[in-house]
Amino acid sequence: MDKTPMLNRRKFISRSTQALALIPLVTVSEGQVWAAERITLDHPTASALGYVHDALKTDTTRFPKRLGPEGAKQFCSNCSQYKQTEEGWGTCAIFPNYLVAGPGWCNVWVPIT
C-alpha cells in the first residue's frame, strides 16, 4: 500500500509563505545595483576604452571620436549604455557591477535612439 504523505492546507500555506519570503533575495529588478562601486580610471577595461569621469578630459589624440561639435555632445549620461542610479552616477552595460560618472565618456559611446 502506497503511503505518500499528503500536503495538507497548513503545510501548503507554511511552505508558500517561506517561498514568498525568499523572492526578494533572488529577484533583482532591471537596473538595480547591489554593492556596485565607482569604476576607477586604472580599471583595465576603462583604460582600454579611454573612460574618464569628466568627458572634457578625454585624450582626443587617442580618441578623436570626441572631437568636434558632435563629439562635444557625448557624455555617459546621454549614451544608450547608461542608466542613472544615483545622483551623477549610473550603471553601464560595458562596465557591469560598476558605476560610471554621468559627465564621463568612453569610446563605446552610442547615442540614445
Using one digit for the tens of pLDDT, what is the confidence trace for 6-30? 667 777 777 767 666 655 544 444 5
Cell numbers of 50, please?
579611454
Q: Is-contact 99 37, C-beta < 8 A? A: yes
User: In this structure, which CATH number among 3.40.50.2000, 3.30.70.2740, 3.40.50.970, 4.10.490.10 belongs to the domain 30-101?
Assistant: 4.10.490.10
Q: Is-contact 100 92, C-beta < 8 A? A: yes
pLDDT of residue 26: 47
Q: Is-contact 112 78, C-beta < 8 A? A: yes
In tens, the pLDDT along 52-90 reads 999 999 999 999 999 999 999 999 999 999 999 989 999
Q: Is 0.85 topped by the overall pTM?
A: no
Q: Which of helix, strand or coil describes residue 99?
A: strand
